[in-house]
Structure 1
Amino acid sequence: MPCPEEELMTRLTRALLGACAVSALAVPAMAATTLTIATVNNGDMIRMQKLAEDFTAKNPDVTLEWVTLEENILRQRVTTDIATKGGQYDVVTIGNYEVPIWAKQGWLVPLDGLPADYDVEDLLPALRAALSMDGNLYAAPFYGESAMVMYRTDLAEKAGVTLGDAPTWATVLDAARKMTDKDAGISGICLRGKAGWGENMAFLSAMANSYGAAWFGPDWKPQFDGEEWKAVLNDYVSVMADAGPQGASSNGFNENLALFQQGKCAMWIDATVAASFVTDEKESTVADKVGYAQFPNKEGVDNHGNWLWSWNLAIPASTDAPDAARAFVAWATSKGYTNLVAEKEGWRAAPPGTRTSLYENADYKAAAPFAEKTLAAINAATPEKPSVKDIPYTGGQFVAIPEFQAIGTAVGQQFSAAVAGQVKPDQALTSAQQLTEREMTRAGYIK
């Protein structure tokens, strides 16, 4: 249900302020230009900054200024700036959630005029479709992902557990408790607990889908009062209490990555992009002891909860340097950039999940034991029908409506509080039901 632009900008701003290639296109001759690039503080984006001297060497009139932020803060600042046409950023890192919504509002510059060797057709079809509107690409994927189980093979063997390729939640929860070794400082499982629509609610929305739950029914009424969501949250809170790390309610992707790399976590269920970091021998103490499995499903539910996500580079319509911004986006998401990463850090570190050619590359497949499972997880994602229930929305680990940013974060705060022991799961679900129903009624979805 679309909202008028003025109303949407007001709602987004109020909600966010109150909440919480390398042969690339050369910039045409112009006066010195400074590009301000807003991005997330994860390993792939930090690597991009280190390699960006390749771009500036080819485009000496362009200076890059980086604004690198934690995921939740990035989303708040970028959304507020673009919705109010603030013009603070020339290139922004956003997800496939925002792209179609913002493109429809006219907030993004279409990525036409990319160089021929960029090869748009090489982008994975699912991502290209998610980032396009009316046949025009509005953002370029830097990396794509689904979700899967990563686990310590040595600890699984020691505990006598077998996960297999497609475990159920019963198997995973049992294995987490058996692999926990508190005396050795090893948690059986690490899951996102940090509040945020793209933090704990990304994981929990996928988990809910795999339990047969849904955010909304056909009439847009929230479903947190159903038995499926009760089972989801009780199992999640219970296993975090029994087998999770201390302070789990504050842990997001980066915090859990660090725990797994340090050998303090036996199992981690999160984004497939993490696989290259947990197998990095320079950073991970367990690089040679990692196994993989599909995102679990509830026994009897034919849905593994595969999400589809990409971090993408887009150009706000408010930029005063669209040509330079387009050149940078083309450089950072090109085949040439992938080759540059492989040259500097090896094929295992190549940004995953965006191009068909990467998964046809024998060198990459040999260097990345997780490549096949990553591609299979991405291809298995069904964002057009994420739940087995009859639902009125698309998404996967999010609901593709503008209001979801504020609602998802508010619900995430309730569920994070349940992990922290501040409220009981039933109380958190009741609060989630009430606040979501209230906001959806105000927005006009519920009549």
Structure 2
Amino acid sequence: MLEQRKRIGSAAVALLLAGAVSGCAGWGGGGGGGGADSVTVLMVNNPQMVDLQKLTADNFTKQTGIKVNYTVLPENDVRDKISQEFSSQAGQYDVASLSNFEIPIYATSKWIAPLSDYIAKDPTFNQDDVLKSMTTSLTATDGKVYGEPFYGESSFLMYRKDVLAEKGLTMPAKPTWQQVADIAAKVDNAKPGMRGICLRGQPGWGQLFAPLTTVVNTFGGTWFTADWQPKVNAPEFTEATKFYVDLVRAHGELGAPQAGFTECLNNLVQGNVAMWYDATSAAGSLEAPNSPVKGKIGYALAPTVKTSSSGWLYTWSWAIQEASKKKDNAWKFVSWASSKQYEELVGQQLGWSRVPAGKRASTYTNPSYLKEAAAFAQPTKQAIETADPRNPGAQPRPAIGIQFIDIPEFPDLGTQVSQDVSSAIAGRMSVDEALKRGQVLADDVAERYRSRQAKK
């Protein structure tokens, strides 16, 4: 079984190699459709994207004459379709929604077009207004920007102000993890059935390891050193993981091994937990008009140990396929969908709570938005601005990324290791055993990169 598990990322590597094959048939084939005055967009079906789809014809198309043909799919489906379409360079889709995980990888593979020349020629877009950490995360090693954010998020600590106050506790604006653990112990069972904190325990590189990797970073750990030495069972990685596992086992939510973002959100809304460390995007739901905890939640920066900040960074962004024959029209769409003007359009027509925020500095000086998002706007902006995707820990890294390592193999690696860490949360395995197994998997990945460096 171990030998089978060691083959991390083979599909991802094969997919990257497929990008080198020219003339390959892909999803739909052909060189794009819909006529000269159109663009085709492949995107995820989250609510903000659905809003975009509804607003396009009466605004973007009316202003530019460019019709937008959307294909909208659930996240897992859209990632699969984008990877097949863009790796084959079939050209059926001009634009796709990609995260800051995929964009640097796709840029290196030359699957997506650089945007820097368009940015330079389009001062109305105002790249300087895009939060610096967002621009950095969407910039490839050649120094060019390859994506523009639609919305973004970091992570912070959310807590019940009233519960802490009843216990005579004050949450620091910039807490340490030990302070958080101490508070979790003191507010455990502050109300009947209420646990001290919610932390994701559900397996998945984007579930459990999104928050846990930020904890590893600030404890001084890393998945790999700059020269591709795996450090999954190193003392710092082990200390961070034991801290996380012990905290959630002692004071965390019921059913922690199955709890992800949605479960923790529900737990905080329903009063089942007093604190939650997770995505800044959750605040909109916590402060919604019908939320039973509206006005009761405080927001603090992501807890730290050895680093000055530890919040993650994530964005759904727009990228243009290199094979597109309509790059100029595609840029017009991208620049509109990522613009300050589009945010204002959403605010005016749909309500400011539905603005795809987290990407532009101007959003956080807009009085209408701030009136709606007063409780969490500035903590969100501060969390995103202090995130450093190129220097997230205590030592140099081999690839960009905070809550992930930006290599194709990481989803498989992170998910497999997360399964064992989740088992440790459930009490079925020790942390030491989980990370020992993870070290073997990580070494298999690292060996490929060490071999490539040796051949240079």
Q: What is the TM-score with the length of structure 2 in the denominator?
A: 0.81
The corresponding residue for 1:191 is 199
Query: Structure 1 residue 314: deviation in Å?
Result: 1.5
Matched, 1:329 2:328: no
Query: Percentage identity across aligned positions?
Result: 36
Matched, 1:414 2:420: yes
- Segment drifting more, 434-443 vs 301-310: 301-310
Distance 2:162 2:190 in 1: 16
1:320-359 Cα offsets, whole Å, 9 max, x none, are 6545543432332111210022113443443222112222
Where 1:268 maps in the other structure, the secondary structure is strand
Q: Aligned match of 1:399 in 401, 405, 415?
A: 405
- Segment drifting more, 232-241 vs 29-38: 29-38
The corresponding residue for 2:378 is 372
Instruction: Indicate if the aligned counterparts of 2:211 and 2:403 stay in contact, CA closer than 8 A.
Output: yes
Instruction: Indicate if the aligned counterparts of 1:342 and 1:349 stay in contact, CA closer than 8 A.
Output: yes
1:95-116 Cα offsets, whole Å, 9 max, x none, are 2222122112210133454755
Letter in 1 for 2:151: Y
Written as runs of structure 1 = structure 2, the 5 A alignment for 1:145-294 is 145-181=153-189, 184-282=192-290, 284-294=291-301
Distance 1:77 1:177 in 2: 45
- Segment drifting more, 145-154 vs 287-296: 145-154
Distance 2:36 2:400 in 1: 44
Distance 1:267 1:73 in 2: 33
Distance 1:50 1:270 in 2: 30
Query: Structure 1 residue 411: deviation in Å?
Result: 2.2
Letter in 2 for 1:235: F
Distance 2:273 2:49 in 1: 24
**Structure 1 255/77 Cα, relative in aligned 2: closer, same or farther at 3 Å?**
farther
The corresponding residue for 1:3 is none
Instruction: Indicate if the aligned counterparts of 1:39 and 1:67 stay in contact, CA closer than 8 A.
Output: yes
Query: Structure 1 residue 398: deviation in Å?
Result: 1.7
Instruction: Indicate if the aligned counterparts of 2:133 and 2:389 stay in contact, CA closer than 8 A.
Output: no
Instruction: Indicate if the aligned counterparts of 1:189 and 1:240 stay in contact, CA closer than 8 A.
Output: yes
Where 2:73 maps in the other structure, the secondary structure is strand
Q: Aligned match of 2:362 in 354, 357, 360?
A: 357
Q: What number of residue pairs does the alignment pair up?
A: 423
Matched, 1:295 2:299: no
Distance 2:380 2:153 in 1: 7
Letter in 1 for 2:101: Y
Where 1:306 maps in the other structure, the secondary structure is coil
The corresponding residue for 1:307 is 312
Written as runs of structure 1 = structure 2, the 5 A alignment for 1:420-439 is 420-439=426-445
Instruction: Indicate if the aligned counterparts of 2:150 and 2:356 stay in contact, CA closer than 8 A.
Output: yes
Distance 1:75 1:182 in 2: 42
Where 1:94 maps in the other structure, the secondary structure is strand
Where 1:107 maps in the other structure, the secondary structure is coil
Instruction: Indicate if the aligned counterparts of 2:105 and 2:407 stay in contact, CA closer than 8 A.
Output: yes
Letter in 2 for 1:126: S
The corresponding residue for 1:103 is 107
**Structure 1 163/80 Cα, relative in aligned 2: closer, same or farther at 3 Å?**
farther
Distance 1:252 1:326 in 2: 35
Query: Structure 1 residue 208: deviation in Å?
Result: 0.6
Q: What is the TM-score with the length of structure 1 in the denominator?
A: 0.82
Matched, 1:78 2:86: no
1:260-296 Cα offsets, whole Å, 9 max, x none, are 33333321111222222221113x2211111011111
Distance 1:277 1:194 in 2: 21
Instruction: Indicate if the aligned counterparts of 2:135 and 2:145 stay in contact, CA closer than 8 A.
Output: yes
Where 1:118 maps in the other structure, the secondary structure is coil
**Cα RMSD over matched residues?**
3.2
Query: Structure 1 residue 88: deviation in Å?
Result: 6.5
Distance 1:36 1:396 in 2: 28
The corresponding residue for 2:43 is 38
The corresponding residue for 1:24 is none
Instruction: Indicate if the aligned counterparts of 2:232 and 2:442 stay in contact, CA closer than 8 A.
Output: no
List alignment gaps of at least 5 residues for structure 1: 1-5, 15-28
Where 2:395 maps in the other structure, the secondary structure is coil
**Structure 1 272/233 Cα, relative in aligned 2: closer, same or farther at 3 Å?**
same
- Segment drifting more, 96-105 vs 362-371: 362-371
**Structure 1 334/391 Cα, relative in aligned 2: closer, same or farther at 3 Å?**
closer
- Segment drifting more, 201-210 vs 230-239: 230-239
Written as runs of structure 1 = structure 2, the 5 A alignment for 1:20-59 is 30=35, 35-39=40-44, 41=46, 43-55=47-59, 58=62
1:286-323 Cα offsets, whole Å, 9 max, x none, are 1111101111123xx23331223222122233556545
Where 2:404 maps in the other structure, the secondary structure is coil
The corresponding residue for 2:95 is 91
**Structure 1 398/263 Cα, relative in aligned 2: closer, same or farther at 3 Å?**
same
Query: Structure 1 residue 163: deviation in Å?
Result: 1.7
1:13-38 Cα offsets, whole Å, 9 max, x none, are 99xxxxxxxxxxxxxx9468573422
**Structure 1 222/40 Cα, relative in aligned 2: closer, same or farther at 3 Å?**
farther
1:141-197 Cα offsets, whole Å, 9 max, x none, are 011222110111122223443222111112212322433449844343222233333
**Structure 1 378/36 Cα, relative in aligned 2: closer, same or farther at 3 Å?**
closer
Letter in 1 for 2:421: F
Letter in 2 for 1:128: T
Q: Aligned match of 2:127 in 100, 116, 120?
A: 120
Instruction: Indicate if the aligned counterparts of 1:30 and 1:61 stay in contact, CA closer than 8 A.
Output: no
Instruction: Indicate if the aligned counterparts of 2:269 and 2:286 stay in contact, CA closer than 8 A.
Output: yes
- Segment drifting more, 52-61 vs 200-209: 52-61
Distance 1:55 1:418 in 2: 52
Letter in 1 for 2:270: Q
Where 1:117 maps in the other structure, the secondary structure is coil
